Amino acid sequence: MDFSEEIRGKAKELLESGTVDCVIGYERATDGVGARPLFVYQPNDIDRLIFDQTCTHNLTKYLLNRKGKATAIVVKPCDSRAINLLINESQVQRDKVSIIGVVCPGVVKAGLDNTSGELQDTCRMCQQHTPVLYDFLVGEPASEADVPDTYPDVTGMEDKSAGERRAFWEEQFSRCIRCYACRQVCPGCYCPECFVERLDPMWVGIRIAPEENEVWNTMRAFHLAGRCIDCNECERVCPVNIPLSLLNRKLGKEVEELFNFQAGIDAETAMPFSTFEKEEKLGISE
């Protein structure tokens, strides 16, 4: 799959017409194989744009740096859900963003080239191959995949005993180096001051040590309950391979079961985290 020409055509049109002053897309990385984000401001940089199955990054986080500025952005289906989330939470103005949606068969594992066909794990469980939100669509709308089990990883974990789960996560979090790459890349993490950086009172200690790492990682996961759009960026960027998506997907599954809600499917449905119905508490205590 290679949609580079289509993306370039659309970028040229949007930049030259003055509709936007920046197009956020992808270019080839320095290894000659993978992709990296690209900001195009000038028509003569348009030819650097690419789109193929190595384009793994969720670029929507960058929209938060361009508030109020007319911007075009290339999104895959999972990324498009992040824009809905950000519109729903009043972080992105819909009329300032031109969304170039791409029909996505899934992206390949890190280090592999476009032709390898070996998809990332989350892509194999993904049901959404056409963006939920776009102004321009690249590729033929795909019929949605019939994935029989969308949470095999989570149910696999749920089958373990509480003790086993605790031991598993303790070991994973013990490796955390608190680089905060998971937060920095996450479109749902945009607090002007993250709780982990609060100094007075200090909510989480600065010590890069198991107990404090555990507080950091679990609090971040709870803040994303019903907000995570499952782009897997946190897990992809983690330099010590902590399976963060597993944690976020568990909370996503809980929210789906309790509230019949999936983040980012549209921009209007009230978010479970920011609304309260009296009858809700009935289900939660079980």
Partner 1 sequence: MSEFISKKDLLTWLGQLMEERNLVAPTRVDDLLLFSKIDQVEDIVFDFDNTTLSPKEWFYPSSETLFYVEQKDGQTELIPAVIEKETAIFGIRPCDAQGMAMNDFPFLEEPADDLYRQHRDKTALIGLACITACPECFCSSMGSGPHDPANVDILLTEVADGYIAQVLTDKGKALLPDNLLTTADVSSPPAPVLSEVPSDGIAEKMRQAFDEPFWDRLADRCIHCNICSYVCPTCYCFDVRDYTDKERIERVRSWESCQSPGFTRIAGGHDPRSTKGSRLRQRFSHKLLYFPRQFGALGCIGCGRCVRACPVNIDIREIIQDVQQLEVKSEA
Binding residues for partner 1, per CB under 8 A? 29-31, 34, 36-39, 57, 61-62, 65, 175, 177-181, 183-185, 197, 202, 205-209, 233, 236-237, 239-241
Q: How far is the CB of 8 from partner 1 (least distance, A)?
A: 19
| Crossing angle between the packed helical segments 210-223 and 244-259, to the nearest 10 degrees | 40
Pick between residue 117 and residue 239 the one whose CB is nearest to partner 1.
239
Pick between residue 182 and residue 221 the one whose CB is nearest to partner 1.
182
Dump the DSSP string for 62-85.
GGGGGTTS-EEEEE-HHHHHHHHH
Q: How far is the CB of 29 from partner 1 (least distance, A)?
A: 4
Report whether the peptide linkage leading into residue 210 is cis, meaning its omega lies within 30 degrees of zero: no
Pick between residue 2 and residue 211 the one whose CB is nearest to partner 1.
211
Q: Are 238 and 181 in contact (CB under 8 A)?
A: yes
Pick between residue 230 and residue 233 the one whose CB is nearest to partner 1.
233
Q: How far is the CB of 66 from partner 1 (least distance, A)?
A: 9
Give the CA dihedral 39, 187, 271, 265, nearest 10 degrees.
60
Q: How far is the CB of 180 from partner 1 (least distance, A)?
A: 5
Pick between residue 62 and residue 261 the one whose CB is nearest to partner 1.
62
Q: How far is the CB of 209 from partner 1 (least distance, A)?
A: 5
| Helices within 17-137 (DSSP H only) | 77-88, 121-124
Q: Are 257 and 284 in contact (CB under 8 A)?
A: no
